[in-house]
A = this chain, B = another copy of it.
């Protein structure tokens, strides 16, 4: 095997391409980076001796097949719904496939064909999903090997702004897909606590957040993710009495975000009439309930939200410019689109800003008749607004795993996610060289 194909040269590809090119130099492989924008692909390759950037429109079957045929391993950074086309070509030409996206049902259905072709299709091989799976499974397997019974597993992750670049009252900036941040949590969060199913509808999610201590970092807020229950199967912990996955935010964030939810500004289901000419002030006025006491919009809004007019939450809303008589300027936009537009003006990374990833797993178990709590914590900061921790932690696992395939160190076949020892052990070990270190603290309960 000699040739690696990376489809997609967008923002999240930087760390992967850099890693793949270095591995190619060491092993005498060749990396092709293909994108609808060939300049972006070429620029990311940067004239490296073991790589090239090229044009590819993945919706054109012939072009797609031709380039896949000429490579041995394919990494797809395409939007998730496009993976299936690439996957079918990979089966046809017997090529391995790696992605950072959640594996779709359609992709899972290809499992037998992939196995028969003696290929591996690895999905969820980035940060979250990706490093979360690997670090959690490594610890779960380790505890099981000791013969202990795990009674609780709680996993927290957050893409945040590093304290040294934290200069706004929300203590948050966009370090990843802004749309996902605005729509986060919609639906009903479900998890298990002491063998009981818990359901938290969206309109209570941010009001009822938890507080989590991150050793060395202090307290953070955490709101449950929608999907915790799925991980019983994923991690083979069907009988676990308590299982929770949650998202981390800086203290004070959830209460203020809850105000935006309560107002109705995160709704993405209908367009605001006249959204182009309306001002932010008028938009907000449209959401303020009838017959509220107060002379000003601020007074009425505070009353509606049952908070003080000089509270921190009101200050955060003011800082976003939601009371300003400035035109929105977006045509037929939903409230969520308008909010995202405003946030993108305010929560932008400055060139030298550093992002920060926090991931923490907590395990409760009984070991030699003692109830113990094991906390495993990873904190990683980015370099600047381009070399972000986010891009690194999504790209490096992909790159390392591609290297393992190229070196023929992977025996698994079929459609998989990284929950097997032969994957998580070497990937996590090499990630340590890049500062991805899970520190453990343990205490008796």
Contacts and interface: CB of A to CB of B under 8 A. Distances in A.
Interface of A: 187-188, 190, 193, 196-201, 203-204, 208, 210, 229, 262-264, 267, 269-270, 272-274, 282, 285-287, 289-290, 335
Nearest to A207: B289
Given A196-B285, A282-B196, A264 B210 contact: no
Given A203-B262, A262-B203, A270-B187, A286 B198 contact: yes
A12 to B, nearest CB: 30
Contacts of A269: 187-188
A270 B197 contact: no
Chain A interface, DSSP helix/strand/loop, else mixed:
mixed
A286 B187 contact: no
B193 A267 contact: no
Given A187-B269, A208-B290, A264 B196 contact: no
Residue from A193, A263, A274, A290 with most neighbouring chain B CB atoms (10 Å)? A290
A412 B290 CA distance: 41
Contacts of A197: 272-274, 286
B290 A201 contact: no
B290 A188 contact: no
Nearest to A274: B197
A426 to B, nearest CB: 36
A255 to B, nearest CB: 15
Contact of A208 (B187, B267, B273, B289): B289
A156 to B, nearest CB: 15
Contact of A287 (B199, B264, B282): B199
A203 B259 CA distance: 12
A100 to B, nearest CB: 26
A290 B199 contact: no
B187 A264 contact: no
The 6 closest A-B pairs by CB, nearest first: A201-B264, A203-B203, A208-B289, A197-B286, A199-B286, A199-B287
B289 A204 contact: yes
A117 to B, nearest CB: 36
A199 B338 CA distance: 14
Given A200-B264, A201-B267, A204-B262, A193 B273 contact: no
Contacts of A285: 196
A191 to B, nearest CB: 10
Contacts of A335: 199
Contacts of A287: 198-201
Contacts of A188: 264, 267, 269-270
A275 to B, nearest CB: 10
A264 B272 CA distance: 26
A193 B272 CA distance: 15
B187 A289 contact: no
Contacts of A289: 200, 204, 208
Contacts of A262: 201, 203-204
Given A187-B270, A208-B289, A290-B210, A199 B264 contact: yes
Contacts of A270: 187-188, 190
A323 to B, nearest CB: 16
B196 A286 contact: yes
Contact of A290 (B198, B203, B272, B286): B198
